[in-house]
Structure formats: C-alpha cells, structure tokens
Amino acid sequence: MEKVVYQFEDFLLNVAPEYQEFAAGIHAVLTEAGCKIKIESKASGFFVSYANPKTKRSMLNFLFRKKGLLVRMYPGDIARCAALLDRLPESMVKELDKAQKCKRLTQTADCSSRCVMGYDFLARGNRYQICRYCLQFAVTPESVPVLTEWAALEIA
C-alpha cells in the first residue's frame, strides 16, 4: 500500500477559520528559516512537526486534541524565552500549572535514563519543571501573539 503524502494545505483545511492565518504565518516563518516539515494524519487529526535546521530536533508541533488545535513548543534554550515567559497570559499559565512535571528534573527514578530532560524555568514568578513533551498550549486569541513571538525567537 502506498504511503499518503500530506501537504500543509491539507492540515490548514482542518484548522478553525479564525486560526488559519496564524498557522499559515508560523508555517511561513519556520519554512523560510529552513525548518524541515513533517505532516502525518493521526486519530485526533493532523500532526505537523517542524525540525530546527541546525539541530535537526523538533522545535514546534501543531496537533489536534478534543479541545482543538494545540501548539507544542520544544525550546532550544528556555533561558532565552525568560522575558516572554514572564508575560504569558493567565490562560497559558493555567496550562503550565496542569502540565506534567519532568520526572528527571524532580529527582525521581521513574523516568528512563534515555529520556530527554524537560525544562526548568520561571514564568510570572513561579518555578516550573515541565516534561519536554508537555509544554503545549491551546491556540486561542490570547495565545496567538505569544506563540507567534515564541516561534520567531526559536529560529533567531
């Protein structure tokens, strides 16, 4: 059986109309910077991954969940994002509060030694130790400008 090759436009057709411009803007910025894109169809919808051209590691994903479109960030250097993290909107801070803690950072032996360590950072005066795969935010009118700025920061 032949593998289906999806285009960004296939993903974009599934994005709510009010967020299509945001998704297309992020896509343009990251692909112009040379990020490699991978698009897959999953049970919950399309999954779009962008890999940093320098490190070849994922830096941003678009994914769908029951609550809608999410953006998962994989910052290369979380310290560079300190000013941005200090002005996160309340809704994004609430998502950080709910995010899974990084087991390797919290000094438990529950995580695999091969697991890539998560992120230890301050946001609006609170310390977070988040799993690398749990730094994700719902795409909302409030989060769009922050996520756009964050994506641009990652490729700068």
Give residue 19's pLDDT.
Answer: 96
3 lies in some domain: no
Say if 113 falls within a structural domain: yes
CA distances in angstroms from 63 to 3, 42, 69, 78, 103, listed in the order given:
20, 9, 6, 21, 24
pLDDT band at 1 (very low <50, low <70, confident <90, very high): low
110 in a structural domain: yes
The 10s digit of each residue's pLDDT in 54-111 is 888 999 999 998 889 999 999 988 989 899 999 999 999 999 999 988 888 877 667 7
Kindly report the average pLDDT of the chain as a whole number. 90
Does 87 fall in a domain? yes
Close Cβ partners of 136 (under 8 Å, ≥ 6 residues apart): 61, 63, 70, 71, 72, 73, 95, 99
Helices (H), 63-143: 82-85, 90-98
1 inside domain: no
Range of the domain at 46: 8-155
Q: What percent of the chain has pLDDT over 70?
A: 97
- Is residue 18 included in any domain, yes or no? yes
Other beta carbons within 10 angstroms of residue 100's beta carbon come to 13
Asked, for residue 54, whether it belongs to a domain, the answer is yes
* Overall domain count for the chain: 1
Per-residue pLDDT at 138: 96
